Amino acid sequence: MEHNSTKSNINWFPGHMTKALREMEKEIKNVDLIFYCLDARAPISCINPKLTKLAGNKKIIYVLTKCDMVDYKKLEPLRKQLTTNNSVAIALNGIESNSTKILYDKAKNLLENKIEQKKQKGLNFSIKAMVVGIPNAGKSTLINNFCRKAKTITGNKPGVTRGKQWVTVDEGLILLDTPGTLWPSFENDKIARNLAYIGSIKDEVLDTTNLAFDFIKDIVKLDKNLLQSRYNIEINQEDTTLDIFDKICKSRKCISRGNELDYDKCAGIILDDFRKGRLGKIILD
């Protein structure tokens, strides 16, 4: 374990993401607006410069997904920060039934003029929207919520959706599901770590033991009580991150043969606890 490392070297930009971005570039002219999914646990870190560029001046509805996993009051300033002339931001729980109704209403609202113009010509108008975001942000879940049916494949790991898929919600709304996309190099390590913590970067390309070490360091800065109460440990002023890691290992009985502490196993437990919300409601940004 590199205890003094500041550079995380986290990177995941496989070929399927380049391909997906190219496909999305082709489709962008066919859509009226964008549903841009951002994980509420790290919404600012989730903003992909490639997607922002792709969106150009299309209207954007930022969807702060997984808001059930954070403290709504703490999310509010971030939500407001994302509201501009060209965009609105809405926090929701994508697995709560019918939570997308507000998004549908907002979309109609934003495109009111276009809908009205078509109506006057006696034409029907279907809103076409592209659903974008980083891997595991809840894009496909959101689409299924709109449809009240499992029309797309979802899963609790990044990289589930591999190709674009048009989904008709009803005669008024057609959605394009897209694969989660990242970008070739992260601006800073904090962003990279946040994306790794929330499960947007596949664990196979990560050193999860180092990641858990960094996670402990970041969480202690935020609120050490979260670790104290989950793992039933006492964190003292003079404890180093490694001391805390040791305490969690012991508390969770992560001991390998020969009585060594099993940091790898403990790292898995810590990251899983965070990702499943067992450490409490945490906003990393």
Span near ligand GTP by CB under 6 A; candidates 13-21, 25-33, 61-69, 111-119: 61-69
138 binds, among ligand GTP, Mg ion, none (CB under 5 to 8 A by kind): ligand GTP
Q: Which is nearer to Mg ion, 45 or 140 (CB)?
A: 140
Handedness of CA 256, 259, 264, 269 (dihedral sign): positive
Handedness of CA 64, 70, 71, 75 (dihedral sign): negative
Which of 159, 172, 268, 280 is in the footprint of ligand GTP by CB under 6 A? 159
- Round to whole Å and give the CA distance between 264 and 261: 9
Span near ligand GTP by CB under 6 A; candidates 1-9, 66-74, 166-174, 239-247: 66-74
Q: Does 165 bind ligand GTP (CB under 6 A)?
A: no
Q: Which is nearer to ligand GTP, 3 or 276 (CB)?
A: 276
What is the per-residue binding string for Mg ion in 114-153, x denoting contact by CB under 5 A?
-------------------------xx-------------
Q: Which is nearer to Mg ion, 194 or 200 (CB)?
A: 200
Q: Does 161 bind ligand GTP (CB under 6 A)?
A: yes
Which of 59, 139, 193, 224 is in the footprint of ligand GTP by CB under 6 A? 139
Query: Distance of CA 113 to CAs 57, 108, 118, 216, Å?
Result: 17, 9, 9, 50
Place of tokens 């299309």: 58
Q: Which is nearer to Mg ion, 150 or 222 (CB)?
A: 150
Q: Does 178 bind Mg ion (CB under 5 A)?
A: no
Minimum distance from residue 160 beta carbon to Mg ion (Å): 5
Which of 137, 206, 216, 270 is in the footprint of ligand GTP by CB under 6 A? 137
Q: Which is nearer to ligand GTP, 62 or 245 (CB)?
A: 62
Place of tokens 């180092």: 210
Q: Which is nearer to ligand GTP, 93 or 126 (CB)?
A: 93
Q: Does 135 bind ligand GTP (CB under 6 A)?
A: yes
Q: Which is nearer to ligand GTP, 43 or 138 (CB)?
A: 138
Q: Catalog residues that contact ligand GTP under the rule CB under 6 A.
A: 65-66, 68-69, 93-95, 133, 135-141, 154-156, 158-161, 179-180
Q: Catalog residues that contact Mg ion under the rule CB under 5 A.
A: 139-140, 160-161
